[in-house]
Structure 1
């Protein structure tokens, strides 16, 4: 283990990359800033990177502004199916859950898969049975779904809109029915961290996409797509159009580029450019390199993001924004 004085702790957060409407912009920014503070407090007290990303993601799962945990959306059957992943960069340990139901904090269930089973992914009924075995309580579906999410589901079902509408810009949405354009439609949350010991971790969580086919799983719980962490390169959490992200293994692509010598920011931009060119997909990433370099980039209209290093909180929503607060 590296000497504890070597590394400056870092946490980087995203709250989803998509065409975030103005009515959700403040809540999204507040939510990622709160999550960053939560994760950084864990690191500052000597906690591990895994502890920090779990705490950060739990914070956003508890916030109804985000589509993860509380705030999750409904599939075509009117059910909630949630996905999450967590990865420890020390020994490439990882755990995931997909299509899990009635769990308030799926990221903690994913961590339990990593630490208490010999598996890396549990899905559906099996994931819920495991949660029951280890004492994670289930919650009513109604407690996870906001009124806005229900209204969104009704509109998407009425107009038979595909998942792709959520990642179009507001200008592109003008050709769609106004009732669809006004829906909430939010996306994945995630966190990456570097602790004082030089260990990295990543976590991602989502409540799915409104009116998706039951059983559909995007990138979020897939190691190498939704998240990846390796102490030899860094950690990445992704967000955006899940099918596109999965096709290019976006998180692993970013860490691979860092292994070739690219800085975290350049690697993040390059990987997203490749995804756009190869599969015409849009999304975003947050990244921390093994030496504490920070990357965050998105090709959607907006992405709520925040990071903390050396006692300074940076945050933004639009391209080019970088607001700073001294903690």
Structure 2
């Protein structure tokens, strides 16, 4: 039995919480993953995993073995890297998940630069507004907007996400241009469903340093940022949207910013990854590249 391979397979099974997903990410047949874990348990003479029809869970011995395997493999990689330039060259597969707008407008347009610097890294990029389960789905890191909720995750701040309130000229001609928050009583909104709460978000404004919520009727409600923009462009109501999404339409006059003196609060954009996951050279390269990309990106620079 190849004990190092067995450790790697065991770690991946635990991280993905699935024999099938572990097999997929390691490019191994599922039967091979099952046999490796069974042989490992037989060799150690302990049960590492409790298996049910619905999920896997670590035994006490499994938890202790997992923690030590992570450290052992990290030390081996560090030792090999100290003697081999090739071992430290970023290579291998990396799974990244990000929101649609960030992926399409910031990440994807810059991938030629990433590939030129790290040609041996194979990126799989998922675009979604939903909150993925990184451990269960085998995702190495995500780029997300909003505060970090899971204490088991590490968040690296990339930049701030700026929002504004907008409407079409046609809508404003029908309903009037609001010049105060009180004027919003005469308006309707196109609302966005929060991925965090699964509920429609009300309009929010920062007034003298305090965030104020204003509830108005919703003409339409959607759960995708680009669909939210598309419905707003139909003239169905006021809507609050990321500045970088609205910018092209503000320039052409298809959208008009309203109540600019009371903008929605900015939100943090962060690169997030599991706290106990060892950072391979490929993952470190992607993290550093993304930090540099987002820190200087004009779409994240704000109105100034």
Query: Shorter-normalised TM-score: what interval?
Result: under 0.3
The structure carrying a bigger helix percent of its residues is 2
What TM-score comes out, normalization by structure 2 length?
0.23
Select the structure with the greater relative contact order (CA < 8 A; seq sep ≥ 6). Answer: 1
